[in-house]
Amino acid sequence: MQVCPYHGWVYDLTGALIDVPHKDGYPDDFDKSEFGMVAASQVDVYRGFVFASLEGSGMTLAEHLGAATALIDRAVDLSPEGELDLQAGWLQHRFKANWKMLPENDCDGYHVETTHASFMHATDSQAMDLLSDADAEPPVVRDWGNGHMEIDFNVAYRSRNIPFEWFGRVPASKLPNYTAAMIKAYGEERAHELSVTGPPHAIIFPNLFLGELNVIFYYPVSADECVQLYTPMSLKGAPEVNKRALHQTEGAVGPASFLIPEDVIIAERNQAGLNAGGRDWVDLSRGLHREYEEDGKIVSHMSDETVNRGFWRRHREEMLRDHSK
Ligand SMILES: [Fe+2]
């Protein structure tokens, strides 16, 4: 049930109007069914993630997600019950930048060494080791099409074949119940594979960020202000993982943490820089000369702007599309 804070009209969770205060102000034939909330024209669900389009997107959810369902699968399959729980609590950061600064940043691998230098120095992060390990495949960025994109650390994790390296190198012996539950759910081989590859680091266009073991989304307030919401990605049936993931979230995305506050400040500074004018175009050519195609996706070095180009390509299509159809 929802109550409008203005005049106290009461709606049920389907959006139907079920009561109004002081009914005698309306005639007897006042028809509540005519005053329900306007439904989103498209709502669909993939593995528990609810997607909605207020005015219709011109494509089904399956068409919109395309191959990128694999990115969502990569997260949800980490639960031995095949389900996520997003009830650990939500943080919100409101800040003065256009919302598109966020998808620009979230899969950008070029800023990590500089923007997050303090994180690299203070923690035992393996992110940069992966780039410099001559015996491992380096991480890449991948444009999945339709504006979906990722930094794929899995390539590196797979080549090193170390379980839970993505989880701060925690030894499997510290997660005995989780390991047993995963083997029971998926079998030895698949459970090992999942323990090695870990979660996605991916943007589902336009505003869902699967940030390792965090679910993050954002919405605009105005052209130069937005809100970003975060919660740990708790895995159903995996309390050992969730307890540790909660502390990782506190260190990565909370207001006194390393990563996201740094990205938010940079987004605000970038916005101020754009507002300063002086140039009509921002260069996004990094890595164009070394991109390659793999399984229908565009792939390049982790520091390349392949993902930014993929995001803007889809954004441009949406802005030019006739939304009346
Ligand atoms: Fe960042």
pLDDT in tens, 223-243: 999 999 999 999 999 999 999
Task: For residue 45, report the distance from its CA to the centre of ligand 1, in Å.
Answer: 29
Of residues 293 and 122, more confidently modeled: 293
Distance of CA 264 to the CA centre of its chain: 15
Q: List all residues 6 or more positions away from 53 whose beta carbon is below 8 Å from its beta carbon.
A: 40, 41, 42, 43
Asked if residue 22 has pLDDT above 80, the reply is yes
Tell me the residue ranges of DSSP E strands in the chain.
Answer: 2-3, 10-11, 17-19, 42-46, 49-53, 84-85, 91-95, 140-145, 148-152, 201-204, 208-211, 214-222, 225-232, 234-235, 292-294, 297-301
Task: For residue 115, report the distance from its CA to the centre of ligand 1, in Å.
Answer: 7
Cis previous bond, 206, omega within 30: yes
Neighbour tally for 23: CB within 10 Å: 11
Q: Which domains does the chain have, with CATH numbers?
A: 70-318 (3.90.380.10)
Confidence (pTM): 0.91
Task: For residue 267, report the distance from its CA to the centre of ligand 1, in Å.
Answer: 10
Task: For residue 125, report the distance from its CA to the centre of ligand 1, in Å.
Answer: 14
pLDDT score recorded for residue 57? 75
First to last CA, the chain: 33
pLDDT score recorded for residue 47? 97
pLDDT score recorded for residue 168? 82
Range name among 73-77, 106-110, 120-124, 307-311 with the lowest pLDDT average? 120-124
Task: For residue 276, report the distance from its CA to the centre of ligand 1, in Å.
Answer: 23
Range name among 31-40, 50-59, 195-204 with the lowest pLDDT average? 50-59
